[in-house]
Amino acid sequence: MIEPHSRSDTDSDLDFEEIVRCNTAWMVAVAQRILKDRALSEDAVQVAFSKIYRSLDGFEGRSSLRTWMHRFVVNEALMLLRKQKRVNEQPLDPLLPEFDRNGCRVDDPFALPVTSEDHLHSRQVRDIMKEKIDELPDQYRIVLVLRDIEEMSTIEVAEALGLSEANVKVRLHRARAALKKLLEPMMRGGAL
């Protein structure tokens, strides 16, 4: 564990260099899932590291160092995303399932042409999945990424995004439903 108060500045700098070396790759990956841009992700990580360095004295060890750092990179990526103000986003409603007036789903049922396990092992499917996740509007995509990929709790996502837990749950449900609809052509064996 890092104890900045008990070490010299030179030792702390060397320890921090090791922290940067060991954590940069996963932090860039986290930021890139949110920002969808490598250069912006690297910028977010650089700012996150500068804030982490200035805040090391405040690290209390209640969580792992990685968990503590994860919050910094997610927050920086979200701030950069807000600054971008994406305008070419498609609305979510056309991606959600349709229901008739009795509340029954209108979409045609489908059968999987191959097993789910076959799909999971396919790199092409993972690439398509990433593309389809990126098609979701940011407010839904980010909740899905933070909950299902980054495995943050609902409470952590709510705090990071400044939302209520209920709102996080609603957005996550809608994001999953939209993603399912986007992936249905592939699951039916058709082209995407």
Task: Please count the other Cβ atoms lying within 10 Å of the Cβ belonging to residue 153.
Answer: 12
Q: What is the pLDDT of residues 79-88, one digit of tens each?
A: 888 887 655 5
Q: Give the pLDDT score at 94.
A: 72
Q: What is the pLDDT of residues 32-47, one digit of tens each?
A: 999 988 999 999 999 9
Q: Give the pLDDT score at 48.
A: 95
Beta strands in the chain (DSSP E): none
Residue 63, classed as helix, strand or coil, is: coil
Task: Please give the CATH number for the structural domain made up of 4-84.
Answer: 1.10.1740.10
CA distance 95 to 10: 54
CA distance 168 to 95: 18
CATH 1.10.1740.10 occupies which residues in the chain? 4-84
* Helices then strands, each counted (H, E), the chain: 8, 0
Q: Give how far Cα 184 sits from Cα of 50, 105, 145, 157, 165, Å.
A: 43, 14, 20, 27, 29
Q: Give the pLDDT score at 5.
A: 41
Q: Please tell me the class of the 93-187 domain.
A: mainly alpha
Q: What is the pLDDT of residues 89-126, one digit of tens each?
A: 566 777 777 777 776 666 655 554 556 566 555 677 78
